């Protein structure tokens, strides 16, 4: 009996003392934190993908609370609805953001771009890029080992086993930009999602001379300027033998697609054309 | 016998072409001379399309500190200046020259007579070396004049000459030491004068007794040069390991050889220095080894810089039947080539044919933590850990574990029973940590 | 011509493989196995064959039907585990106990952590210690060594030298008997000579380095030596300690298991000293006569810690004065 009493009392005593110490410590070291951070964080998707440019949702929430206006602060994953919620909580106004999507700018599938040597080593684009130009003779294009796929937290980009090129799942892609950073060749870019998801872009990043890259890939941009000449909106520029379509200026008129001699300009999610234009060899990546 | 203290491996030597007299390879129809020789910036072209050039004429001027002059190795007409694939696996600017005759600049002394005396001052020698476009011929191709310029506050005490040639298969330095012993020794005295030291140590691995004898014979004719036979062990030719083997000094982590008062030069570089200073001949040709298990006649050849490898291969017996991989350089640190359209650069020491049965890599298995990689790493690193952290992109931890000390010698991958691609990942980790360190420096400014 | 292969350097490999490493361990175990067969006869054969077969079978089954991962059964590591387990068992152990031991060794000790390379504890020792705790009687009645003994479970039993020491019995085997293995004990641990032969082979093949075994043995030697010098009446001579029980087997084959031992020379010293000290403490003061298995398992648990904090000597380490 006595034994039980002693143990209960001593244990209880230790417990009480510890509780008191803990209480004071927590008082002393308590961090004053804006309770709104908690609230904002709850409104965010919680993916911690870093797409907003902050290391995780909480940091972004803190930044939103601290900032005077929500300019330049946007959560690509939640998009407008989320930002409006955040704006409501903080009594600020959300800036409209254009929805973006990741776009893979290489059309060098196995069929179009012959593999001239065989790589045998770690299947990682970063490592291959560090070593040499890749299995094909095009040292600019996609290597196909899927660093983008591994970097995506939303399961939205996958290497197609037949073409060995990555394909973006439009439903799942949140434009967080992880794949853009992961790709050592800088092939992936975030572009305007576009009206009804329609997009036009140059599906190539090869800056070699036309005569050179024509040999290594059927669908390379050869920098011939045809699209540049046909564009009425000044949306196309040509640098280093490579055309680039500015998604801010492009009106999706589709003229350039027709004139490209190598079919390296891609149009996505457009209704089929009138039959007079032949459209057979253009691989449409709908993913 | 002396050697470095830690780690190291002893791969099968396979020096098939040892003792094969150097032969001169005929000129190709066209040469493609890279303006960039592995490290540093490409030089600025000094010629234009349509120009006629002579052998030895300057065609590319060094751009910036870590860059070297480039000279024409043939006489003929410049066809174009364009990007060409180099052994680095990427396209870099190069000068394409159609060969016409073999017309040398008059200033170059082509007589076979050995010129022993040199009355130039230290700074004049270094200037001469810089003008002649000499780079380290051991592999890293760092511009020699940069290495010879001792930074303020440091003092060189000893010149170290690398005749180790620790890579399997390679024999080009070996052969050079046999045939050009006298010139190499004169080159050494010139270098000693350039960096103002009284002592030079030549390290030669013991598997080349004839070279040791020959260099020793000539070393007796001058003062301060000592030949030291070394135990055969890879990577003895690595600067830091060689310095330790010869002098017992350890270059501190992150430091340079000059921090322990040493400057290292390769024997082939030394020969090039002799030719540049005494004969006024810029670096336009070198000895390369063509070898491999399936090559019927392995040998050593004098080749002009810029000669396409396909030409070299054609003149030396063609590609053996079952070739699976072609490597520029030795098997431990050389680079596998995607094709033979690449031309010989200043640092190309060999063309190595690996039969298809040996060209693939073994199946990668779990790390069984056998610690073989740790025991064989000459830098005292833990490759298994570095690989793991590189894979996971844990850069801070990589840095703490001294990933930047790795010399990429490949000993760890070589010994791993699980065929783990250790160096591949470590190289990647080094790249990332290097970026991190640089960005940190930028932030501090 | 085929497409050229491109891969990062190095382009040559030593040709070493897990299988080769395991095979050299197996070869190194042969002398001790022959001694076991000689002294323990049929029993040793039955126990070892059962143990090896069941280890291989369990690994195969688990890899095929439970883990569904890569099949690595051909790397021979299960055979090594099986044989080492058998070496740690008395040769008169009933078959069903051996099978349970194999199941625990492979199932719990190895595969539950994800297979070779991921297990924190030496699988064979996990099996052995499990059996020792569950079946203490069967596990500690060792048969008397009789050349080519045809008896299996009904073999005459005897105490081991260590038990004898513990209980201050007089009938300790002669030094020569201990050296060649003419004494009671687990089937693989009796012959110091055979185990040393195996050690020499492993060193020659560079499968293991000398650091761990030598550190363990010298620690035990020094510690027991001190006790012996202080009080030769109570404590046995250090040589007896070295040659009896599972110390040789443990130091050479169990403690040096790749997966569960430290990665650096310095770490290996710490690990070896730890095992030596714990072994001596258990032997001299614990309630078990033998402590090598426990010591190794305990130090296995410290291995990750050792690996984190004890780094190899780096080249060009800046010495702080
Ligand atoms: S490659 Fe690096 S980590 Fe590997 S053994 Fe050489 S120095 Fe060590
Ligand atoms: S050599 Fe290979 S298996 Fe052994 S520890 Fe290193 S990485 Fe692991």
Over residues A31-86, the pLDDT tens digits come to: 767 778 888 888 888 888 878 888 888 888 888 888 888 877 888 888 788 888 88
Structure-model confidence comparison of residues A277 and A204, the more confident one: A204
Confidence band for C141, pLDDT divided at 50, 70 and 90 = confident
Residue C133, judged by CB atoms within 10 A of its CB (0-12, 13-18, 19+), counts as: exposed
Q: Looking at ligand 1, which residue's alpha carbon is closest to its atom 7?
A: B406
Confidence band for A174, pLDDT divided at 50, 70 and 90 = confident
CATH of domain A100-268: 3.30.70.20
Average pLDDT over residues C84-107: 92
What is the pLDDT, as a whole number, of residue C179? 85
- Tell me the C-alpha distance between A102 and C233, whole Å: 82
Q: Looking at ligand 2, which residue's alpha carbon is closest to its atom 8?
A: B367
Which range has the worst mean pLDDT, A90-99, B12-21, B211-220, C291-300?
A90-99
Nearest Cα of chain B lies from the Cα of A220 at a distance, in angstroms, of: 17
Rounded distance from Cα C18 to ligand 1 centre (Å): 20
State which ligand 1 atom lies nearest to the alpha carbon of B7. 5
H/E element, C134: helix C123-134
Average pLDDT over residues A9-28: 88
B365 in a structural domain: no
CA B16 to chain centre: 20
Average pLDDT over residues C262-291: 90
State which ligand 2 atom lies nearest to the alpha carbon of B365. 3
H/E element, B350: strand B350-355
Q: Is the ipTM of this complex over 0.85?
A: yes
Range of the domain at B383: 372-444
Which fold is adopted by the domain A37-90?
A: 3-methyladenine DNA Glycosylase II; Chain A, domain 3 (1.10.15)
CB of A23 less than 8 A from some CB of C? no
For residues B239 and B334, membership in a common domain is answered with: yes
Q: Rg of the Cα trace of chain C?
A: 20
pTM of the predicted model, to two decimals? Answer: 0.87
CB of A123 less than 8 A from some CB of C? no
For residues B112 and B62, membership in a common domain is answered with: no
C218 in a structural domain: yes
**Cα angle C6-A189-B427, degrees, rounded to a multiple of 5:** 35
Task: Flag whether pLDDT at B19 surpasses 90.
Answer: no
Q: Across the interface, do A117 and C6 touch by the CB < 8 Å criterion?
A: yes
Tokens, residue C209: 């380095």
Over residues B248-264, the pLDDT tens digits come to: 999 998 888 999 999 99
Q: Looking at ligand 2, which residue's alpha carbon is closest to its atom 3?
A: B367
What is the pLDDT, as a whole number, of residue A94? 79
Average pLDDT over residues C103-115: 90
What is the pLDDT, as a whole number, of residue B64? 79
Q: Across the interface, do C5 and A127 touch by the CB < 8 Å criterion?
A: no
A286 Cβ contact list (under 8 Å, min separation 6): A268, A269
Evaluate the omega torsion of the peptide bond into residue A91 and state whether it is cis, within 30 degrees of 0.
no
Over residues C188-222, the pLDDT tens digits come to: 888 899 999 999 999 999 899 999 999 999 999 99
For residues B151 and B208, membership in a common domain is answered with: yes
**How many residues in chain C?**
321
Query: Which of C6, C11, C13 should we substitute to test contact with A (largest number of A Cβ atoms within 10 Å)?
Result: C6
- Tell me the C-alpha distance between B225 and B200, whole Å: 5
Which range has the worst mean pLDDT, B147-151, B368-372, C279-283?
B147-151
Over residues A146-167, the pLDDT tens digits come to: 999 999 988 999 999 999 999 9
Task: Flag whether pLDDT at A278 surpasses 70.
Answer: no
Name the domain boundary from B80, B99, B118.
B99
For residues B245 and B340, membership in a common domain is answered with: yes
C317 in a structural domain: no
- Tell me the C-alpha distance between A120 and A132, whole Å: 12
Task: Flag whether pLDDT at B208 surpasses 70.
Answer: yes
For residues B2 and B69, membership in a common domain is answered with: no
**Which subunits sit against C, judged by 3+ Cβ pairs under 8 A?**
A, B
CB of A137 less than 8 A from some CB of C? no
Using CA atoms of B166, B167, B173, B177 in order, give the dihedral in degrees to the nearest 10.
30
For residues B351 and B378, membership in a common domain is answered with: no
Find out whether C117 and B366 touch, Cβ atoms under 8 Å: yes
Rounded distance from Cα B375 to ligand 2 centre (Å): 10
Task: Flag whether pLDDT at B108 surpasses 70.
Answer: yes
Q: Is B391 in the pocket of ligand 2 (CB under 6 A)?
A: no
C314 in a structural domain: no
Over residues B230-242, the pLDDT tens digits come to: 999 999 999 999 9
Over residues B51-82, the pLDDT tens digits come to: 999 999 999 998 877 888 999 999 999 999 98
Q: Is B407 in the pocket of ligand 1 (CB under 6 A)?
A: yes
Find out whether B329 and B352 touch, Cβ atoms under 8 Å: yes
Structure-model confidence comparison of residues A39 and C18, the more confident one: C18
Residues of A whose CB is below 8 A from B365: none
Q: Looking at ligand 1, which residue's alpha carbon is closest to its atom 1?
A: B408
Confidence band for A281, pLDDT divided at 50, 70 and 90 = very low
Q: What is the DSSP letter of C101?
A: H
Q: Looking at ligand 2, which residue's alpha carbon is closest to its atom 2?
A: B416
B185 in a structural domain: yes
Mean of all residue pLDDT scores within chain A: 85
Q: Across the interface, do B375 and C209 touch by the CB < 8 Å criterion?
A: yes
For residues B288 and B331, membership in a common domain is answered with: yes
Average pLDDT over residues A101-124: 90
Q: Among B166, B234, B378, say which to mutate for ligand 1: greatest number of ligand atoms within 8 Å of CB.
A: B378
Residue A213: closest CA among A134, A141, A285: A141
Give chain C's domain count: 1
Query: Using CB atoms and an 8 Å cut-off, which of residues 126-145 of chain A contact chain B?
Result: 126-127, 130-133, 137, 139
Range of the domain at C139: 18-309
Residue B334: closest CA among B134, B88, B32: B88
Rounded distance from Cα C23 to ligand 2 centre (Å): 17
Confidence band for C164, pLDDT divided at 50, 70 and 90 = low
Mean of all residue pLDDT scores within chain B: 91
Q: CATH code at B269?
A: 3.40.50.11540
Over residues B269-311, the pLDDT tens digits come to: 999 999 999 999 999 999 999 999 988 889 999 999 999 999 9
The percent of residues in chain B predicted with pLDDT above 70, rounded, is 99
Find, in chain A, the residue whose alpha carbon is nearest to that of C3: A117
Nearest Cα of chain A lies from the Cα of B238 at a distance, in angstroms, of: 21
What is the pLDDT, as a whole number, of residue C175? 79
Task: Flag whether pLDDT at A287 surpasses 50.
Answer: no
Q: Is B384 in the pocket of ligand 2 (CB under 6 A)?
A: yes
Find out whether C173 and C185 touch, Cβ atoms under 8 Å: no
Q: CATH code at C119?
A: 1.10.3430
Query: Which of A120, A122, A208 is facing B360, going by the closest CB pair?
Result: A120
B69 in a structural domain: yes
Q: Is B370 in the pocket of ligand 2 (CB under 6 A)?
A: yes
Query: Using CB atoms and an 8 Å cut-off, which of residues 241-270 of chain C contact chain B?
Result: 258-265
Average pLDDT over residues C17-36: 93
Alpha carbon separation from C312 to B286, C266, C316 (Å, rounded)? 40, 7, 12
C2 in a structural domain: no
Query: Using CB atoms and an 8 Å cut-off, which of residues 327-366 of chain B contact chain C?
Result: 327, 331-339, 352, 354, 356, 358-362, 365-366
Which range has the worst mean pLDDT, A185-189, C126-130, C312-316?
C312-316
Find, in chain B, the residue whose alpha carbon is nearest to that of A140: B90
Beta-bridge mates of residue A159? A166
Q: Which ligand is nearest to the CA of B378?
A: 1
Domain range summary for chain A, segments of one domain joined by +: 37-90, 100-268
Q: Across the interface, do C3 and A117 touch by the CB < 8 Å criterion?
A: yes
Residues of A whose CB is below 8 A from B424: 121-122, 127
For residues B355 and B216, membership in a common domain is answered with: yes
Find out whether B350 and B290 touch, Cβ atoms under 8 Å: yes
Q: Across the interface, do B428 and A139 touch by the CB < 8 Å criterion?
A: no
Task: Flag whether pLDDT at C168 surpasses 80.
Answer: no
Which range has the worst mean pLDDT, A49-63, B342-356, C119-133, C154-168?
C154-168
For residues B226 and B347, membership in a common domain is answered with: yes
Beta-bridge mates of residue B24? B302
What is the pLDDT, as a whole number, of residue C167? 64
CB of B256 less than 8 A from some CB of C? no
- Tell me the C-alpha distance between B121 and B130, whole Å: 14
- B172 conformational bin, left if phi > 0, alpha if psi -120 to 50, beta if neither: alpha
Residue B285: closest CA among B137, B432, B146, B419: B137
DSSP structure string for B245-269: HHH---PPTT--GGGGTEEEEEHHH
Residue B113, judged by CB atoms within 10 A of its CB (0-12, 13-18, 19+), counts as: exposed
C7 in a structural domain: no
Q: Across the interface, do B427 and C7 touch by the CB < 8 Å criterion?
A: no
B62 Cβ contact list (under 8 Å, min separation 6): B43, B68, B69, B130, B133, B143
Q: Is B406 in the pocket of ligand 1 (CB under 6 A)?
A: yes
Residues of B whose CB is below 8 A from C17: 362, 417-419
B366 in a structural domain: no
Q: Is B364 in the pocket of ligand 2 (CB under 6 A)?
A: no
Confidence band for C40, pLDDT divided at 50, 70 and 90 = confident
For residues B65 and B121, membership in a common domain is answered with: no
Alpha carbon separation from C38 to A13, B267, C191 (Å, rounded)? 66, 62, 11
- Tell me the C-alpha distance between A200 and C308, whole Å: 53
- Tell me the C-alpha distance between B67 and B135, whole Å: 9
Find, in chain A, the residue whose alpha carbon is nearest to that of C10: A121
Nearest Cα of chain C lies from the Cα of A132 at a distance, in angstroms, of: 9
What is the pLDDT, as a whole number, of residue A183? 93
Name the domain boundary from B63, B82, B99.
B99
Over residues C50-78, the pLDDT tens digits come to: 999 999 999 999 988 887 777 778 888 99
Q: CATH code at B63?
A: 2.40.50.100
Give chain B's domain count: 3
Over residues A114-146, the pLDDT tens digits come to: 888 889 888 999 999 988 888 888 889 999 999
State which ligand 2 atom lies nearest to the alpha carbon of B387. 7
Over residues A230-274, the pLDDT tens digits come to: 998 899 999 889 999 998 888 888 889 989 999 899 888 888 876
Q: Across the interface, do B361 and A130 touch by the CB < 8 Å criterion?
A: no
B112 in a structural domain: yes
Q: What is the DSSP letter of B343?
A: B
Confidence band for B405, pLDDT divided at 50, 70 and 90 = very high
Half-sphere exposure of B412 (CA within 13 A, CB side): 30
Residue B87: closest CA among B265, B326, B294: B326
Which range has the worst mean pLDDT, B39-43, B313-317, C83-87?
B39-43
- Tell me the C-alpha distance between B187 and A57, whole Å: 64
């Amino acid at each position: 009996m006595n034994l039980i009493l002693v143990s209960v009392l001593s244990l209880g005593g230790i417990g009480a003392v510890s509780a008191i110490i803990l209480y004071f410590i927590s008082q002393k070291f308590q961090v004053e934190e804006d309770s709104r951070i908690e609230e904002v964080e709850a409104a965010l998707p919680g993916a911690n993908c870093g797409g907003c440019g902050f290391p995780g949702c909480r940091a972004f929430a803190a930044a939103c609370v601290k900032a005077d206006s929500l300019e330049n602060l946007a959560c690509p994953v939640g998009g407008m609805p989320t930002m409006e919620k955040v704006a409501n909580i903080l009594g600020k106004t959300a800036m409209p953001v254009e929805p973006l999507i990741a776009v893979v700018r290489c059309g060098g599938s196995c069929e179009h771009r012959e593999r001239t040597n065989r790589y045998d080593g770690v299947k990682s684009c970063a490592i291959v890029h560090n070593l040499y130009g890749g299995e094909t003779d095009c040292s600019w294009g996609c290597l196909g080992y899927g660093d983008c796929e591994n970097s995506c937290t939303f399961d939205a980009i996958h290497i197609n086993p037949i073409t060995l090129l990555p394909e973006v799942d439009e439903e799942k892609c949140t434009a967080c930009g992880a794949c853009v950073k992961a790709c050592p060749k800088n092939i992936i870019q975030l572009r305007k999602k576009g009206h009804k998801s329609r997009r036009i872009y140059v599906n190539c990043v090869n800056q070699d001379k036309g005569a050179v890259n024509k040999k290594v890939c059927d669908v390379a941009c050869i920098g011939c300027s045809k699209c540049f000449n046909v564009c009425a909106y000044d949306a196309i520029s040509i640098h280093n033998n490579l055309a680039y379509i500015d998604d801010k200026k492009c009106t999706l008129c589709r003229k350039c697609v027709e004139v490209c001699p190598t079919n390296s300009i891609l149009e996505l999610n457009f209704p089929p054309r009138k039959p007079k234009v032949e459209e057979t060899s253009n691989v449409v990546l709908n993913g | 016998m002396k050697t470095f203290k830690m780690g190291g491996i002893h791969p099968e030597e396979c020096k098939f072409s040892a003792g094969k007299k150097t032969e001169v390879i005929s000129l190709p129809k066209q040469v493609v001379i890279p303006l960039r020789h592995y490290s540093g910036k490409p030089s600025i072209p000094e010629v234009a399309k349509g120009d006629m050039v002579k052998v030895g004429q300057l065609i590319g001027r060094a751009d910036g500190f870590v860059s070297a002059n480039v000279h024409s190795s043939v006489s003929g007409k410049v066809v174009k200046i364009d990007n060409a694939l180099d052994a680095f696996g990427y396209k870099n600017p190069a000068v394409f020259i159609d060969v016409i005759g073999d017309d040398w600049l008059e200033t170059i002394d082509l007589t076979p007579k050995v010129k022993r005396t040199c009355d130039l001052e230290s700074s004049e020698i270094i200037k001469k070396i810089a003008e002649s476009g000499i780079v380290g011929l051991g592999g890293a191709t760092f511009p020699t004049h940069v290495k010879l310029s001792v930074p303020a506050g440091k003092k060189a005490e000893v010149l170290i000459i690398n005749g180790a040639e620790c890579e399997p298969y390679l024999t080009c330095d070996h052969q050079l030491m046999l045939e050009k012993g006298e010139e190499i020794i004169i080159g050494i005295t010139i270098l000693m004068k350039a960096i103002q030291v009284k002592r030079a140590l030549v390290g030669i691995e013991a598997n080349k007794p004839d070279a040791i004898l020959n260099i020793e014979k000539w070393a007796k004719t001058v003062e301060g040069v000592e030949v030291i036979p070394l135990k055969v062990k890879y990577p003895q030719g690595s600067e830091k390991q060689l310095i330790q083997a010869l002098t017992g000094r350890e270059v501190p982590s992150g430091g340079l050889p000059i921090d322990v008062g040493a400057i290292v030069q390769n024997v082939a570089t030394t020969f090039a220095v002799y030719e540049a200073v005494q004969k006024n001949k810029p670096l336009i040709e070198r000895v390369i080894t063509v070898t491999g298990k399936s090559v019927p006649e392995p040998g050593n050849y004098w080749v002009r810089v810029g000669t396409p490898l396909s030409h070299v291969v054609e003149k030396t017996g063609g590609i053996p039947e079952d070739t699976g991989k072609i490597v520029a350089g030795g098997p431990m640190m050389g680079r596998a080539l995607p094709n033979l359209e690449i031309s010989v650069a200043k640092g190309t020491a060999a063309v190595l044919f690996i039969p298809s049965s040996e060209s693939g890599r073994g199946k990668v298995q779990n790390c069984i933590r056998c610690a073989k990689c740790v025991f064989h790493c000459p830098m005292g690193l833990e490759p298994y850990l570095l690989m793991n952290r590189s894979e996971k992109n844990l850069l801070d931890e990589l840095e703490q574990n001294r990933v930047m000390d790795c010399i990429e010698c490949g000993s760890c991958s070589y010994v791993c029973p699980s065929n783990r691609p250790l160096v591949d990942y470590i190289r990647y980790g080094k790249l990332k940590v290097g970026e991190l360190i640089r960005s940190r420096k930028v932030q501090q400014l | 011509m085929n497409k050229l292969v491109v891969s990062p350097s190095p382009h040559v490999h030593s040709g070493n493989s897990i299988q080769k490493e395991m095979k050299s361990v197996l070869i190194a175990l042969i002398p001790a196995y022959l001694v076991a067969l000689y002294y323990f006869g049929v029993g040793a054969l039955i126990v070892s064959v059962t143990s090896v077969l069941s280890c291989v079978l369990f690994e195969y089954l688990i890899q095929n039907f439970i883990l569904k991962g890569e099949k690595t059964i051909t790397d021979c590591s299960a055979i090594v585990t099986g044989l080492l387990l058998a070496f740690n068992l008395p040769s008169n152990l009933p078959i069903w106990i051996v099978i349970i031991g194999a199941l625990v060794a492979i199932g719990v000790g190895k595969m539950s952590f994800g297979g070779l390379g991921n297990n924190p504890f030496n699988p064979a020792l996990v099996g052995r210690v499990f059996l020792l705790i569950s079946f203490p009687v069967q596990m500690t009645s060792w048969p008397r060594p009789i050349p080519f003994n045809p008896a299996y479970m009904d073999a005459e039993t005897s105490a081991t030298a260590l038990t004898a020491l513990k209980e201050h019995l007089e009938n300790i085997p002669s030094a020569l008997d201990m050296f060649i293995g003419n004494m009671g004990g687990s089937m693989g641990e009796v012959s110091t000579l055979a185990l040393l032969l195996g050690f020499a082979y492993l060193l020659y093949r560079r499968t293991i380095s000398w650091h761990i075994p030598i550190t363990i043995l010298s620690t035990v030697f020094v510690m027991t030596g001190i006790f012996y010098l202080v009080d030769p009446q109570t404590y046995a001579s250090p040589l007896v300690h070295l040659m009896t029980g599972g110390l040789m087997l443990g130091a050479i084959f169990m403690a040096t298991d790749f997966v569960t031992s430290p990665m650096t020379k310095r770490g290996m010293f710490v690990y070896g000293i730890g095992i030596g000290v714990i072994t001596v403490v258990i032997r001299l003061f614990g309630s078990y006569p033998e402590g090598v298995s426990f010591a190794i398992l305990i130090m296995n648990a410290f291995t990750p810690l050792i690996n984190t904090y004890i780094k190899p000597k780096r080249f060009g380490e800046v010495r702080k004065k």
